[in-house]
Structure 1
């Protein structure tokens, strides 16, 4: 192999093992070693870029709205949102490996940006002790018996507690959750709290990751429908628009089947992202669908 090609690969390898600076929206953030946001966004132009669009549409109706970011990681989603809206952002992250980067990346931002250094306790896990497994730019909570004891975590809270402690900011109108395996359990445990203000929801629909399973995926969609969520915009895991649809059990079952067939046979989306809307926010749903369809026609 040509020596210059070897040097090029070596340079890339070393770069991935160092802190890197990367522009997200209008702000520069620091990526920890192994975090691949920059790689993914260079390879897939829509990857992790739809949340700011959604935030702008929500803020156009609910000016100064509060955003709750569960699984804030290093703050890349919060920074992207801050590039488009000025309302308060609550960042929930319990992983000590990510917290220094989260604080540092939020520090230069304008507006109210609160860090809540804890994990959300999943529904049905009141008596379970969890531990954290961190790999590169992602982390997973696991029942203690499945992981090493030195990674044990006791920092747990609920969506209701977070909303109560930050009620001075006003109602949350945009809630994003990306917890690599607990999104369905978190949503199911927060249904009563969500029913109060019916925020727009953005979450990862992956029935196979971590502690998720197909039945929880369907149950979460049914639970959201039961409190008044009626429509959903679906993206694939690369951030590409798939559809605007009614939020139904049948849709959840179809997408679960899609993910499972991909897992067994290859090809297709690894998971999906859901953006869910209540009846009261059908106008934002329609605006987002129109935005995506016009973008397709313009491309």
Structure 2
């Protein structure tokens, strides 16, 4: 049973979101986890960071560790949103970031937050697996965007991972990929890994079976695809950024199946943040062993 103070807090949060969602793209400046960002008023990031100080910091610590091992760090930020990941990474690590974002509404805020930093490049397009894929329409919820099939006035150009690499040679030595595309990560991340196969970047992405199935994709299919590309070691955090343990790409399928079949209502579902390291990447494996000790299985 929920405690009275928790009930009050939940009620206040819902009222706040109701008010803010009436004026979703009103610009506000917020200090979030050590950096200053211009955000849409409806964006949930300040709330998540207040409730859970670890939220999003697993990516920052991963980037910092990789940068310390071999500076400068080169990062691809897929689904860059308002640029919060890029800004926080570059606040903590020596490097440069290639941001790709396809939602026109969030692009305005992305540019506000990163255009003054010459270490950041922005690509305004929707990343797809193959050239010539059809346009998609943005569906926004609380500071994140899911794209659905079809076309609309706000549909963006598309670019494949291979084309993205060809057009951005400064990122040939890609070291870290961050992907947060609300379910499409299981398709896009292997395509990125294949496009940059010689660089063997560490792959950090949101593994959410619920959203993946909404996108008409099989969440479990990502693990054998990454294994075929030489990726073996997986570090897992919960959706609040707390470390859960490590597994191999072979072992994790059983645990991922349990995640999908968790009991309880859909609104209580959880997901993972994962970092996947190539079998030949000793320094990458050293970083995840430090950040996520122990076994998931």
Calculate the TM-score normalised by the size of structure 2. 0.84
Instruction: Map 1:91-130; keep pairs closer than 5 Å.
Output: 91-109=99-117, 111-122=118-129, 126-130=132-136
| Equivalent residue number for residue 224 of structure 2 | 222
Q: Give 1:45 deviation, angstroms.
A: 1.6
Deviations 1:88-124 (A, max 9, x none): 1000001100001000011343x4200100111146x
| Equivalent residue number for residue 5 of structure 2 | none
| Equivalent residue number for residue 246 of structure 2 | 244
CA distance in 1, matches of 2:216, 2:100: 26
Q: 8 Å contact 1:204–1:271 — kept in the other structure?
A: yes
CA distance in 1, matches of 2:51, 2:287: 27
Local SS of the residue matching 1:92: strand
Local SS of the residue matching 1:83: helix
Q: 8 Å contact 1:91–1:114 — kept in the other structure?
A: yes
| Equivalent residue number for residue 279 of structure 1 | 279
Q: 8 Å contact 1:217–1:252 — kept in the other structure?
A: no
| Equivalent residue number for residue 297 of structure 1 | none
Instruction: Map 1:39-118; keep pairs closer than 5 Å.
Output: 39-109=47-117, 111-118=118-125
| Equivalent residue number for residue 254 of structure 1 | 255
CA distance in 2, matches of 1:194, 1:169: 9
Local SS of the residue matching 1:72: coil
Q: 8 Å contact 1:68–1:91 — kept in the other structure?
A: yes
Local SS of the residue matching 1:204: strand
Equivalent residue in structure 2 for 1:137, among 127, 132, 143: 143
Q: 8 Å contact 1:182–1:210 — kept in the other structure?
A: yes
Q: 8 Å contact 1:25–1:83 — kept in the other structure?
A: no
Q: Give 1:285 deviation, angstroms.
A: 2.3
Equivalent residue in structure 2 for 1:196, among 183, 195, 198: 198
Q: Give 1:164 deviation, angstroms.
A: 1.3
| Equivalent residue number for residue 161 of structure 2 | 159
Q: 8 Å contact 2:193–2:200 — kept in the other structure?
A: no
Deviates more, 1:284-293 or 1:11-20: 11-20
CA RMSD of aligned residues (A): 2.8
CA distance in 1, matches of 2:291, 2:154: 44
CA distance in 2, matches of 1:206, 1:282: 27
CA distance in 2, matches of 1:209, 1:287: 29
| Equivalent residue number for residue 290 of structure 2 | 290
Q: Give 1:129 deviation, angstroms.
A: 3.7
Local SS of the residue matching 2:104: coil
Q: Give 1:195 deviation, angstroms.
A: 1.7
Q: Give 1:251 deviation, angstroms.
A: 1.1
CA distance in 2, matches of 1:118, 1:177: 14
Instruction: Mark the CA change 1:15 to 1:194 in structure 2 (over 3 Å): closer, same or farther.
Output: same
Instruction: Mark the CA change 1:217 to 1:107 in structure 2 (over 3 Å): closer, same or farther.
Output: same
Q: Give 1:130 deviation, angstroms.
A: 1.8
Calculate the TM-score normalised by the size of structure 1. 0.83
Instruction: Mark the CA change 1:232 to 1:11 in structure 2 (over 3 Å): closer, same or farther.
Output: closer
CA distance in 1, matches of 2:292, 2:161: 30
CA distance in 2, matches of 1:14, 1:258: 33
Local SS of the residue matching 1:56: helix
Q: 8 Å contact 1:202–1:274 — kept in the other structure?
A: yes
